[in-house]
Structure 1
Amino acid sequence: MTDSTRRDTASRFIEALPSKVYAAFVTPEAVAQWLPPEGATMEIQAFEPRAGGRFQMTLTFAAASGKSTAHTDVVVGRFVELVPRQRIVQAFEFDSPDPAFAGTMTMRWGLEAVEGGTVVTVIAEAVPAGISPADHEVGMHSSLAHLAVYVESQVP
Structure 2
Amino acid sequence: MTGAVLLFEPRAGGRYRIVLTYEASQHSVSGKTSEDTDIVQGLFLELLPDERIVQSVEFVSEDPSFAGTMTMTWSFAPVGGGTEVAIRCENVPAGIRPEDHDVGLRSTLANLAAFLA
TMscore range, shorter length: over 0.9
- CA deviations on 1:37-70 (whole Å, 9 max, x unpaired) are xxx2110110000000011111101125210000
Aligned partner letter, 2:5: I
Task: Find the partner of 2:73 among 108, 124, 142.
Answer: 108
Aligned partner letter, 2:87: V
Task: Find the partner of 2:109 among 144, 147, 152.
Answer: 144
Task: State the match for 1:47 in structure 2.
Answer: 8
Matches within 5 A, 1:23-62: 40-62=1-23
Aligned partner letter, 2:76: L
**Runs of 4+ with deviation above 4 angstroms:** none
Which one scores higher on RCO, CA 8 angstroms, separation ≥ 6?
1
Gap runs ≥5 in structure 1: 1-39
Matches within 5 A, 1:1-156: 40-63=1-24, 65-152=30-117
Aligned partners of 1:70 and 1:54: how far apart in 2?
A: 25
Aligned partners of 2:37 and 2:67: how far apart in 1?
A: 14
Matched position secondary structure for 1:142: helix
RMSD: 0.9
1:77 Cα deviation after fit: 1.5
Matched position secondary structure for 1:49: coil
Gap runs ≥5 in structure 2: none
Aligned partners of 1:72 and 1:97: how far apart in 2?
A: 13
Aligned partner letter, 1:70: E
Aligned partners of 2:68 and 2:2: how far apart in 1?
A: 22
